[in-house]
Amino acid sequence: METISPTVVNLIIFVLAIYVGYHVVWTVTPALHTPLMAVTNALSAVIIVGAMLAAALTEGDLSRWMGTAAVALASVNIFGGFLVTKRMLEMFKKKDKPATDTAAKAGAHK
């Protein structure tokens, strides 16, 4: 029997994923568009998977060094992207408690 080429399977995944992405991203509130960009930076760094294979499984110097460099570049984004998103999202926390604290402090100073 004829087998389906992996490219065709990949294409199916690709089209469906764009569809999911399109619908999910439209639900993102405009106030969080900057964190969205930062977290997508981290997500596209999932190519670290390819980079790890290149760094660990290749034998030639060229591909090994390219792989190691790619691991380093992608991990900049993984750590940088997720951590900076976390930092930004912390700022969007409801600040009821601290607000009353500062108000109380301001009162004490007067």
Q: Identify residues 6-45 at the interface with other proteins (CB under 8 A).
A: 6-7, 10, 13-14, 17-18, 20-22, 24-45
Instruction: Based on the shown chain and the rule CB under 8 A, indicate whether residue 60 belongs to the binding site for other proteins.
Output: yes
Residue with tokens 């981290």: 42
**For residue 91, how far is the Cα from the chain centroid?**
18
Residue with tokens 């034998």: 59
Site for other proteins in 77-106 (CB under 8 A): 77-95, 98-99
- What one-letter code names the amino acid at 105? K
Cα dihedral across residues 70, 73, 77, 79: positive or negative: positive
Q: Which of 4, 70, 97, 104 binds other proteins (CB under 8 A)?
A: 70
Q: Which of 5, 97, 105, 109 binds other proteins (CB under 8 A)?
A: 5
For residues 73 and 41, the answer to whether their CB atoms sit within 8 Å is: no
Q: Which of 62, 105, 108, 109 binds other proteins (CB under 8 A)?
A: 62
